[in-house]
Structures are given as structure tokens and as C-alpha cells.
Amino acid sequence: MTSIKIIGAGSIGNHLAHAARVKGWGVLLTDMDHEALRRTKEEIYPQRYSEWDAEIQLANSKDTVTETADVVFIGTPPDSHLALAQEVLDNAPPRVLIIEKPLCGPDLVGCAEIWEKAEESGVFLGVGYNHALGANTRAMDELIAEEPRGMPQTLSAKTREHWGGIFKAHPWLSGPEDSYLGFSSRGGGACGEHSHAINIWQHFAHTLGAGKVQEVTAVLDMRRDGNAYYDQLAILGLRTEQGLVGEVIQDVVTAPTEKMARIQWSKSFAEWHVNYKSGADAVIRGEGSGTPQIALFEKTRADDFILEIEHLEQVLKGTITDSPISLQRGLDTMMVIAAAFRSAKEKRNININWSAGYRLEALQ
């Protein structure tokens, strides 16, 4: 039986525990906070999935540092991710180690080190940008591959979502200053928390052969709320190595939610939507003044994570060579996040020198 150890029994830890159980995996769910373990068993899991699953083992994460599994999943706040990843690789390396997004705060502390360690460890490392695994994403990738349309005119992506939904899923938090969410420096705020849009922009740029993001210009709307200090809106202008120019918008204020990406070629377009309508993602393609074609992909929230577990099954089998959730893709997204903060602070265009590694010195 495939085994998974999950560090962090919060919202994402519960999602992954459930998805792994659906696929018949053995689950060890851990947290450093006893109250989080109680809440998992008595509240989060039964409220989401109708009843607690007694096959799930719960433990204090400090007592299970040397316990390994086929897959280890880090689902804690961003500013704890990379130290925990190092601890896992030092004490009990699994075959696969998945770290939640964003990898860290915009200071990039620990990025160069984890990249080096991953190379020498032989462990597959990935980052939880799971929208990149969706059926709608696969359909967009196929659409891009199926007929040569050349380099598009532009590429856009948005994750515009009021964070009320996140707080609803965390009723034990009283507001942004109660968690990393209210601190951009800790990986919260719009740029970090909603970085799925930056990541999917990079994913489609990759599929299109447009290369890595070379230039970043950003405007961030920074807000102070009690002790919290975060970007509530992030607008990024991006240019890739091959000259593709487009934008990413992420915010924690828009309702209803808008999660989409759009590729505009000279004569046609393709749109990627998350929750296009209740219970379905979508891909829309159109040409000239013709009626656009809409393909729907039915799914539940739980399916997002079941797909992620199925992807990890393929990784364990060795059948995946270029995973859309590889560590490299997650680090590439961190570099754009860090460049956005530098650009907004210094009010100038930032160039990313990829040969300088995953460190602040690469931002010029």
C-alpha cells in the first residue's frame, strides 16, 4: 500500500488526507499543534467528508520526524515550508516530497539550498500548484499542441478571489493578522496566496515555447490592517525570453471569484476557466466572429486533490518526465513573486537572471 505522511493538519492537510484515502493510501496526518489534530478529527474532516476515517493515523509532527513514507506532503504556512523540507530530507527522505505553494516568502530564503539538496537527494520534489494538473489545463495544452498558431499576441491570467472563502474554511482564525495570510513577507497576501495565476501563466508560456519570465513590472496595493501588512491586489506585467508579453492579476478582494487565463493569437483565442460554472471548469475556444466552443470539465473541490494524488502515483511509477508541479516550476514562480515585490518597492522593471540561481541576487 502506498503511504503518505502529511505535515500540517489544517485545511490543505485534510484535503490531501481525504484524497489519499480515496485512492486507498495509508495516511499519517501530523501537526505540531494538538488542537489542530483534535479539530481535524472532530470538525474539519467529518464536516467536509461526512465522517471521520478511522484508518487515518494522527500524530504530533515532532514525534514522527524520523518516520518516512513513499510520499511526504508539507501543508504548513509558507514561512515554515523550506526548513521543514530540509528536515524531511535530512531525517527520513521519502521517494516523493511535495511542498505547498507558495514555497516561501518573497525573501527567497532557503530556495537555492533546497534546489541544491533536491539535485543531490534523488527525491522527486514538487510544489502544490495543482491547477496545473486539471483536466482543463491538459485540454489547453492539447489545444496549443494540436495546430500550429505561432506565438500568441498576448497571455493573461487572473486569480481574483475575495479571501472571505479562506477565512470561512478557517473559522478558528479571527482575521488576516491571525495567520500568514495577512503578511506578504510570510508568503501571504494576494501575490503569494493566489500565486496560482502566476504559475499557470508560466505553465502556458512553457507549453507555448515562450521561455521563462525575463522581465517583471508590478504594482502592489499594500494594506495595513492592525498588525497585518499585505498586498490586497497585485498587477504584474511580464515578458518572456522569447518576447511574449502579458499580465497577471491576483487579489484577495474580488467577488464573485474570477480564476481564468486567456491566450490571444492573431485570429483565435483560448480561455481556461476554473469554476466556470458550479461544479465545472472550462476551456473556451473561438475564432474571428464565430460562436465560441465551450468544453466543460465537471469536478468537485475534492477532485482537485484526487487528481494530484493520481499524478503522484504516476510519479512513483516513474512515468512522468516533465511534471507541471516539479520543484523547478514552483521555484520559477517564487522568482516572479520576489521580482514583483522588488519591482513594486523600487518602482522599476526587474530582470531575472536565471543563471544566477534561485536567489535575490538574480533580480536585476
Show Cβ contacts of residue 199 under 8 Å, excluding neighbours closer than 6 positions.
101, 129, 131, 132, 329, 330, 333
Q: Which of 45, 58, 80, 158 binds ligand NAD (CB under 6 A)?
A: 80
Residue 330 interacts with ligand NAD (CB under 6 A)?
A: no
Q: Which of 61, 137, 184, 232 binds ligand NAD (CB under 6 A)?
A: 61
Site string for ligand NAD, 112-131 (x = CB under 6 A): ----------------x-x-
**Beta strands 124-127; 96-99: pairing state:** parallel
As a three-state string, the secondary structure of 113-132 is HHHHHHHHHCCEEEECCHHH
Burial class (CB in 10 A: 0-12, 13-18, 19+), 211: middle
Are the C-beta atoms of 22 and 303 separated by less than 8 Å?
no
If one counts every other C-beta atom within 10 angstroms of the C-beta of residue 314, the result is: 11
Show Cβ contacts of residue 185 under 8 Å, excluding neighbours closer than 6 positions.
105, 106, 107, 229
Residue 10 interacts with ligand NAD (CB under 6 A)?
A: yes
Residue 84 interacts with ligand NAD (CB under 6 A)?
A: yes
Residue 132 interacts with ligand NAD (CB under 6 A)?
A: no
Residue 41 interacts with ligand NAD (CB under 6 A)?
A: no
Residue 32 interacts with ligand NAD (CB under 6 A)?
A: yes
- In sign, the C-alpha dihedral spanning 59, 63, 68, 72 is positive
Site for ligand NAD (CB under 6 A): how many residues?
25
Q: How far apart are the first and last CA of the chain?
A: 48
Q: Which of 75, 110, 126, 246 binds ligand NAD (CB under 6 A)?
A: 75
270-329 residues in contact with ligand NAD (CB under 6 A) are none
- For ligand NAD, the closer CB: 17 or 235: 17
Distances (CA, A) of 269 to 58, 211, 213, 298, 334: 48, 20, 21, 22, 28
Residue 199 interacts with ligand NAD (CB under 6 A)?
A: no
Q: Which of 4, 5, 6, 8 binds ligand NAD (CB under 6 A)?
A: 8
Smallest distance, ligand NAD to C-beta of residue 8, A: 3
161-190 residues in contact with ligand NAD (CB under 6 A) are 170, 179
Query: Which residues are near ligand NAD by CB under 6 A?
Result: 7-13, 31-33, 36, 61, 75-78, 80, 84, 100-101, 128, 130, 170, 179, 193
